Structure 1
Amino acid sequence: MRQFVFGFGRCLGAFSQRMFGQRLLLANVAISTAMGLVGDGVQQHYEVACGFQDHFQSRRSVHMGATGLTTGIVTHYWYTFLDRWWQGRTPKVILKKVLYDQILFSPVCLTVYFGTVALFERPNLNEFKEELTDKGGIVYLVEWMVWPLAQTINFYYLPLRYRVMFDTVISFGFDVFTPYIKYRGQRPTTSTSL
């Protein structure tokens, strides 16, 4: 039994090294996509249980998974850029990374999020702009309560290869909250097809 446990541990370690080393982009995108799906699933379960919607909408979950995919890609490259541009873990470097992340990248990431959903739902440009401003603005304000501290921890303690994973774990709350903001007040259609 002991050999099995140690052997399993070695295999898990080798898998982790491969995924968070050679295949880091794939790992980051897979984790972000999965969390987008799960977060929306949790939110929809709540909405159905409370009677806010009649049934689970698989199409909506696919849209949220796609947002995880696109934001996962963008976030992966953003963290790589930040580490190349500002190296080190001094308080000054961490402060710069946190401020650039919150002031520059967060609006970009929210635009990617709402833009991805817009590709599926096909609103006109004015509807997209209005939704990005109104709903994206709410999410952005809430992000200021969470992300500066979370990113300080992320940039100070974690190596680059684990940053998107940490970001995604913290984002789980937003993966539940953002679909709520995105879809609140909208009654679902009866179609559950993709």
Structure 2
Amino acid sequence: MSDIVNVVSKKYLEQLQLHPLRTKAITAAVLIGFNDTLAQKLSGVKKLQLRRLLLMMLYGFNYAGPFGHFLHKLMDKLFKGQTGKYTVAKKVVLEQLTASPWNNLLFMIYYGMVIEGRPWSFVKNKIRRDYPSVQLAAWRFWPIVSWVNYQYMPQQFRVLFQSLVASCWAIFLNLKAGSVAIKKS
């Protein structure tokens, strides 16, 4: 078993080095697919909704992975040559004031309009009602994750680390973004 893990991790690291954007996009898609499967089961769905699962994976592949890739590259450019806890704190604050609100809002819009197929008026009302509590929860959870990420993770592993931690967060967001209609499936 450990031989398999070693071979897989070696191949993954090789792909991460050769094709970082593609590897991060695929990784995000796979992890979001796993998270959505778990979220569906936790929300009481009796039969796995394959369309929803694929749309979630598409979100991870087309947005979450690439966004994280470019965000961390940008952060390293903005704070080039700067190190230390003060720099890490600035990165965390900047990320929490820009990327965090944007990501949560975009996810809620995508989930409501694309995954659930709801009209904009429904999604807008759901965002008005739920977005503040989602964002407050994010600001309680993600700064710690971001601190660890910027302080201890090499740049090429930051999206992977964030994606792994996002497993818990995605389940929360999935359940928060989903409507009662999902349980009828």
What is the TM-score with the length of structure 1 in the denominator?
0.81
Q: Which runs of 5+ in 1 are unaligned?
A: none
Tell me: CA distance 1:9–1:109, structure 2 relative to 1, closer, same or farther (3 Å).
closer
Residue 89 of structure 1 aligns to a residue in which SS? coil
Distance 1:44 1:170 in 2: 18
- Determine the C-alpha separation between the residues in 2 that align with 1:35 and 1:13: 16
1:21 equivalent in structure 2: 17
Distance 1:187 1:172 in 2: 20
Q: Which has the larger displacement, 120-129 or 154-163?
A: 120-129
Measured at CA, do residues 126 and 184 of structure 1 come closer, stay the same or move farther in structure 2, by a change above 3 Å? closer
Aligned mates of 1:169, 1:79 — CA distance in 2: 16
Map residues 84-163 of structure 1 onto 2, 5 A cutoff.
Answer: 84-87=77-80, 88-117=82-111, 118-163=113-158
Per mean C-alpha deviation after superposition, the further-off stretch among 161-170 and 69-78 is: 69-78
The answer (yes or no) to whether the contact 2:68–2:159 under 8 Å persists in 1 is yes
* Match in the other structure for 1:165: 160
* Contact 1:57/1:188 (8 A) holds in 2: no
Instruction: Determine whether 1:60 maps to 2:52.
Output: yes
Contact 1:63 1:120 in 2 (8 A): yes
Shift of 1:9: 8.4
Q: Matches of 1:125 and 1:13 in 2, distance apart?
A: 43
- Flag as ranges the 4+ runs of structure 1 deviating above 6 A: 7-10
Partner Cα distance (2:145, 2:136) in 1: 15
CA deviation profile, 1:132-173 (whole Å, cap 9, x unmatched): 333333322111221111111100111110000000111000
Aligned residue for 1:149, secondary structure, equals: helix
Where does residue 67 of structure 2 map in the other structure?
Answer: 74
Q: Does 1:33 align with 2:46?
A: no
Give SS of 2:118's match: coil
CA contact (8 A) 1:36 1:64 kept: yes
Letter matched to residue 21 of structure 2: L
> Which structure has the larger Rg over C-alpha atoms?
1
- State the shift of 1:105 in Å: 0.6
